[in-house]
Amino acid sequence: MGLAIMCSGGDAPGMNPAIKKFVDYVYKSHQIPYFIYDGLEGLIDGNIKQAQHHDVAGILHNGGAIIGSSRSKRFYDYKYRKIAFENLNKYGITGLVVLGGDGSYNALERLNSEFGIDCIGIPSTIDNDIYGTEYCLGVDTALNVIRSAVDNIRDTASTFKRAFVVEVMGRECGYLAAVTALSSGAEICVIPEMCFNKDIAGYTLKKEVKAGRRYILAIAAEGCNRTQEIKEWLEKDIGMETRITVLGHIQRGGNPTVKDRMMAFEFVVRGIDLLRSKQKVHHAIGYQKGEFIAMDIHEVNDGKYTIPSEITRDLHFLD
């Protein structure tokens, strides 16, 4: 039996440790591992190769994904999905592991429902916005990259009596922004899930500035599209010179942390074990309350992720 792995959508630290564990564990299980290069586009183009141990030697510490990734408009057309299925058949691949987010899971659901391909989704996105799992690969590394940047920004902000608005990734999910605001002690957090109360924030911050506050740190989730607005408000209403820092794709790179490496190993092992079972498989591996679980991929795609209340309850000036 041949098993294949591919990445889809945005990259996340932890993908390379997952890829290495996939190769090692599949060979240990006396099966044949395959790489699908460049995601769904590579699957359509037949960019598939049997993986060897030397392909994954020395990759644990690298960010990104050695097999590449992509987003594919062609995959929405049935004829290209059929080509993708035929390419899997050509190599005798009976099970597919995909590292990705919600778009990738939708693609897996189509492959399974239309062609009966056994598939496993492993949550891999720094946005941490997949329903049914408390943790996605790449989140811990991204948060540590952001923490380092924000700590440095605070140093210069306090020196020059400035405010900084730091924009972080997350699409429509404010998880990265919320956790960053809590762990950095930011005065302001703006996320899509909750309303930022300017009146209360303004009243409090103006009193603190008058009493000697030297800087203000604001964390804004990109999905709010309010970074410029918050900057102008801080300057005009609060009266503090303000700078914007957009961290951008720096958050998706870097050496995976130990946590992301260990989580990658377990996600992959659980996924491969499911593929090797006798049952038909169309699952996503999740992590809840300290345990790895298997969820029906239809359930994951139909659900909507929400930030845990224990995170949002301690944020300032949010209703």
Per domain, the residue ranges of the chain are 2-138+256-305, 139-252
Map residue 38 onto helix, strand or coil.
Answer: coil
pLDDT tens, residue by residue, 294-308: 999 999 999 999 999
User: Is residue 314 flagged as an active site residue?
Assistant: no
Distance from the first to the final alpha carbon of the chain: 53
In angstroms, the CA 68 to CA 20 distance is: 14
Distance, CA of 199 to chain centre: 33
Residue 199 phi, psi dihedral angles, 5° rounding: -65, -50
Report the b/e string of 264-279 with b at 16+ CB within 10 A.
Answer: bbebbbbbbebbbeee
With vertex at residue 268, the alpha carbon angle to CA 265 and CA 272, rounded to the nearest 5 degrees, is 140
CA distance 121 to 42: 18
- Concatenating the DSSP letter of every residue in 174-225 gives -HHHHHHHHHHT-SEEE-TTS-B-HHHHHHHHHHHHHTT---EEEEEEGGG-
Residue range 2-138+256-305 forms a domain whose CATH class is alpha beta
pLDDT score of 17: 98
Contacts of 319 (CB under 8 A, 6+ apart): 194, 195, 196, 197
Q: What residues of the chain score a pLDDT lower than 70?
A: 278
The pLDDT assigned to 318 comes to 82
Handedness of CA 307, 309, 314, 319 (dihedral sign): positive
Give per-residue pLDDT as tens, 48-68. 999 999 999 999 999 999 999
- Which of 11, 127, 129, 140 is labelled catalytic? 127
CATH class held by domain 139-252: alpha beta
313 contacts: CB under 8 Å, gap ≥ 6: none
- Model-level pTM? 0.94
